[in-house]
Amino acid sequence: MDLDAVADQLYALPPEQFTAARTEREKAARSSGDRELAASIRALRRPTVPAWAGNLLARARSGEAERLLGLGEELRTAYRDLDGSRIRALSAEQRQLIPVLVGAAARLAADAGHPLGADARREVEQTLHAVVADAQAGQRWIRGRLDRPLTSTGLAAVTTTAGDGAAGGEVVELGAAAARRGGSGGRSRAARSGGTADTAAGGRSGRGRASRSGRDVEAERALSASTEARAAAERQLADAQSAVRAAERRIAELSSELDRAGREQQAARERARTARRELARADRAAQLAQRRASRPRPSDD
């Protein structure tokens, strides 16, 4: 038994089964004498329902999950290359794919006994947008061990992934930022070990890498910002469409009520006409009876 295997098993379970199963595996590790593994298992956090739904999606729909990762890589490359037509085409595919995946996650969660509300669906959607924006976040998601949803920011996706030794919220750095830091370390080592010519060459190379890294960071920032803006716009559109449908339903209800009221008014008018006719007949009958009663009666003499 190792931590990876245990984490895979635990995060495949519904959230309500997680804690008991974690305790059972912790005890098993402790009984076998592996106190370090037991402590690591105990540190695994129960996933929120949106995180669990995202994990479920990554496990159950692996083909589409891999496509989303590939789409993110292609889109980040297009932004770095400033390829406008490619960005537009890939963005259109993203707008089609992410709602499909959110719907699939909602169905999987509902089938497992956890229907997703609007807020939970939104957090699943945010996770998928973060996957597109950040390669490292995508790799963490596809393992199916998130305990909190991913959140895309300008330079990072914030999350915790089980089995990585993180105790709290963790900032997952984008590839460009990590490459920039790695390039800096490489330049320092070259400066310490090389001669004057090597140092000069390393400086030129380092400046080139820094320039490329800067462009990468800007591209990642632009991608993240546009992804978040698109997600917000899509949510606003969905809310507006929902309001339109509600208004249309209300109009239909009011129209039906108006039709019913019109029919009731017509029926009431017909009853009023009938009542007036009956009243007129009654008046005539009463007048006739009064005239008859007022006639002098013939004498008996």
Predicted confidence at residue 190, as pLDDT, reads 36
Q: How far is CA 63 from its chain centroid?
A: 19
Mean pLDDT by runs of 10 across the 301 residues of the chain is: 92 95 95 94 96 96 95 92 91 94 97 95 96 91 94 48 40 37 37 40 50 62 67 68 70 70 85 90 87 72 52
Nearby residues of 210 by Cβ (< 8 Å), 6 or more positions away: 180, 183, 184
Spatial strand order of the sheet with 151-152 comes to 151-152, 156-159, 170-173
The count of C-alpha atoms lying within 13 angstroms of the C-alpha of 262, restricted to the half-sphere facing its C-beta, is 6
Global pTM reads 0.54
Contacts 24+ apart (CB under 8 A), 30-33: 32/1
Burial degree of 150 (CB within 10 A; 0-12, 13-18, 19+)? buried
In a 3-state reduction of DSSP, which class is residue 58? Answer: helix
Predicted confidence at residue 286, as pLDDT, reads 86
- 98 C-beta neighbours (distance < 10 Å), count: 23
Predicted confidence at residue 296, as pLDDT, reads 73
Predicted confidence at residue 189, as pLDDT, reads 34
